[in-house]
Copies of this chain bind each other. A is one copy, B any other.
Amino acid sequence: MTHVGEIALRQRRLVAKTPTLPQAATPPGTRGAILQAGLTLFAEQGFHGSSIRQLAAAVGITTATLYAHYPSKDDVLTELIRIGHEEIWQRLSAAVADVADPTARLRALVGAHVHLHIDHALLAVVVNNELHALHPDQAESALTLRNKCFQLLADTISDGVANRDFDIVDPELAAIAIASMNMRVANWYDPRLSYTPDQLATRYAEYALDIVRARRPI
| Interface of A toward B, CB cutoff 8 Å | 3-5, 8-13, 44-49, 129, 131-134, 136, 139, 143, 146-147, 150-151, 154, 169-170, 172-178, 180-181, 183-185, 188, 195, 200, 202-204, 206-207, 210-211, 213-214, 216, 218
Which chain B positions have C-beta within 8 A of A218? 202-203, 206
Cα separation A172 to B194 with both chains bound (whole Å): 12
Min CB gap A153→B, angstroms: 10
Residues of B within 8 A of A46 (CB): 46, 48-49, 132-133
Instruction: Give me 5 A-to-B residue pairs in the complex whose CB atoms sit less than 8 angstroms apart, sorted by A's number.
Output: A4-B175, A11-B143, A170-B195, A184-B184, A206-B216
Smallest CB–CB gap between A127 and chain B, Å?
12
* Chain B residue at minimal CB-CB distance from A173: B4
Query: Looking at the complex, which one of B3, B4, B146, B169 makes contact with A9 (CB distance below 8 Å)?
Result: B146
Q: Which of B10, B49, B180, B195 touches A180 (beta carbons < 8 Å)? A: B180
Q: CB within 8 A of A214: which of B12, B204, B206?
A: B206
Q: How far is the CA of A139 from the CA of B172 in the complex (A)?
A: 35
In the complex where A173-B203, A207-B177, A211-B211 touch, is A9 in contact with B131 (Cβ < 8 A)? no
**With a CB–CB cut-off of 8 A, which chain B residues contact A3?**
172
> CB-nearest residue of chain B relative to A214?
B210
Closest-CB distance, A45 to chain B (whole angstroms): 7
A130 shortest CB reach to chain B, Å: 9
- Alpha-carbon distance A11/B195, docked complex (angstroms): 33
Q: Which of A5, A177, A183, A184 has the most CB of B within 10 A?
A: A177
Select from chain B the residue with minimum beta-carbon distance to A177: B181
Q: Which residues of B contact A184 (CB under 8 A)?
A: 176, 180, 183-184
Instruction: Identify the closest chain B residue to A130 (Cβ).
Output: B46
| A5 cross-chain contacts in B, Cβ below 8 A | 147, 150-151, 154, 172, 175
Known: A178-B181, A203-B218. 6 other contacts (CB 8 A): A12-B132, A48-B49, A174-B207, A180-B184, A206-B216, A210-B216
